[in-house]
Structure 1
Amino acid sequence: MIKRALKSFPDGIDPESGKAKHRQLEEILRRFVELHAPPGTAVPSERELSEHFQVARMTVRQAIDALVADEVLERVVGVGTFVARPKMDLQIKLTSYSEEMHRRGMVPDARVLTFEQVPASHLVARELQIDPGQPVVRFRRQLLADGEPMSVDENFIPAWHVPGMLEEEPPTSLYRVLSERYGMVIEWGEDTIEATAATASTARLLNVDLGAPLLKIQRHAYVSRSMVDYSVSYYRADRYKLWVPLQRPGIRTPRTYHPGRHQAT
């Protein structure tokens, strides 16, 4: 589709311009993507672009490299180059998934995979600081935004904190139920973030390839000094980028900052 459109695209490389050819080509492709190419659209090969614009393949590669660095394009090894889909900034906040998606103007949805009471495994017991075998509510979901899989979340809550929870329908907003029904407003938490690769089951749920990069976030959530929730979430790395605001202790932030207002890339 882009290949056909490029043939009729009015811009070309001006050999008399003082601007480097790869910069001219970068601007041409950037404008074309912004005006005509939706996310996920395949980009012609370096050879095709080289022949069309009558420039060296190194010139094409430099232009594409710049657009990849700017997250306008993305390379998929062994497949090709595509118009990138915008990544959502993953801001670490003590809000529920549904609250976060509503904030972004997206429609949240969830498919419940597991909602049951189980004895705490040694790993879960260690993370919740309880004895192995004690009852916990296990709540595992596939989370979606605008119909697209975004993450797989698994929460473990000591059962004595949430009596009767399993007698109701699975909650659409876990933190809201904990607050409104059980009076437990999550006050603070600790997150551990690491890169991982998609297993077969997770890849299937997230609609990504086996071994695709994911963000794994483990959270311990507290009410006062009592831990009430341990969760493990797997986020699609192709749809999220991590945004962590930093501030030196004792220094007041001079203004409100949002990553969307300062695009360095």
Structure 2
Amino acid sequence: MAPAKQTAVKSESLYLQLQNSLREAITSRKLSPNDAIPTERELAEEFNVSRITVRKAVDGLVYEGLLTRRQGAGTFVATRVEKSYSKMTSFTEDMQSRGRVPSSKWLSKTAGLVNPEESLSMGLSPGTLVYRFNRMRFADGTSMGLDYATVPGDCLPSLEAVEDSLYEALERFGTRPVRALQRLRAVAFNAEQAKLLDIPTGSPGLLIERRGFLADGRPAEFTQSYYRGDAYDLMSELSHNP
């Protein structure tokens, strides 16, 4: 039984080595967006592995959103951002995992009393203090969307606690959400939003509303994210368990 186990471990190691090599080439920009990667046969010969191992490594990078397959053309470095709809990650984490350079521009940081929509969405009592963080999002210098986040006052000590990343600040104070409910719908960007993103008014977009919760069930965030429909895809993995 031992030799079979060693073979399995070796096969797994080869698949991870190849996947990491391709990921590094993408994140270091040795392979640029829209570049074609070598064929399965070419990769198998170059790395001295089976085509099954190559396919498994590439499948993982397709799932991550780093690669995309085009029927009849081959496999290419992704140009659009694919956001997993089943994983709780920040915009910064999404971009970095795909080899993109994320950045944000603060539109406003304010403190105030919870409004009716926030109160209903997070179950907060009237008069509760909340912090609001509104940002523009960029990847490699290209505008991607707008973020409007509201956080209960008891999750952060002050507005100044948030520098570049809201989730990093929440992590630091032990109030990063561990569970969330999300709702997705198609929208058209209004004139103000379109001007900020430098796109035509009425351009199609995706609105993701997220309500995040702490481990004890308390609300930690209510975020409305508007993403450009021409630059952002949502991806989810489904399974059937009879």
TM-score, structure 2 normalization: 0.65
1:240 matches 2:240: no
Matched residue, 1:199: 190
Matched residue, 2:177: 186
Aligned positions of 1:57-72 closer than 5 A: none
Structure 1 runs (4+) deviating above 6 angstroms are none
The answer as to whether partners of 2:155 and 2:170 remain within 8 angstroms in 1 is: no
* Distance in 1, Cα, partners of 2:241 & 2:127: 42
Deviation of the 1:212 alpha carbon: 0.6
1:101 matches 2:95: yes
The answer as to whether partners of 2:177 and 2:213 remain within 8 angstroms in 1 is: yes
1:174 matches 2:166: yes
1:86 matches 2:73: no
Matched residue, 2:203: 212
* Distance in 2, Cα, partners of 1:118 & 1:171: 19
* Distance in 2, Cα, partners of 1:167 & 1:88: 30
Deviation of the 1:105 alpha carbon: 0.6
Deviation of the 1:129 alpha carbon: 0.6
* Distance in 1, Cα, partners of 2:79 & 2:91: 19
* Letter aligned with residue 90 of structure 1: K
Structure 1 residue runs of 5 or longer lacking an equivalent are 1-33, 36-69, 72-84, 251-265
Matched residue, 2:118: 124
1:133 matches 2:146: no
The answer as to whether partners of 1:97 and 1:173 remain within 8 angstroms in 2 is: no
- Give 3-state SS (helix, strand or coil) of 1:125's partner: helix
TM-score, structure 1 normalization: 0.59
Aligned identity (percent) is 29
Structure 2 residue runs of 5 or longer lacking an equivalent are 1-33, 36-69, 72-77
Deviation of the 1:135 alpha carbon: 1.4
Deviation of the 1:147 alpha carbon: 0.7
* Distance in 2, Cα, partners of 1:249 & 1:156: 37
In the TM superposition, what whole-angstrom CA distance separates every residue of 1:4-32 from its partner, at most 9, and x where no partner exists?
A: xxxxxxxxxxxxxxxxxxxxxxxxxxxxx
Matched residue, 1:115: 109
In the TM superposition, what whole-angstrom CA distance separates every residue of 1:36-69 from its partner, at most 9, and x where no partner exists?
A: xxxxxxxxxxxxxxxxxxxxxxxxxxxxxxxxxx
The answer as to whether partners of 2:102 and 2:138 remain within 8 angstroms in 1 is: yes
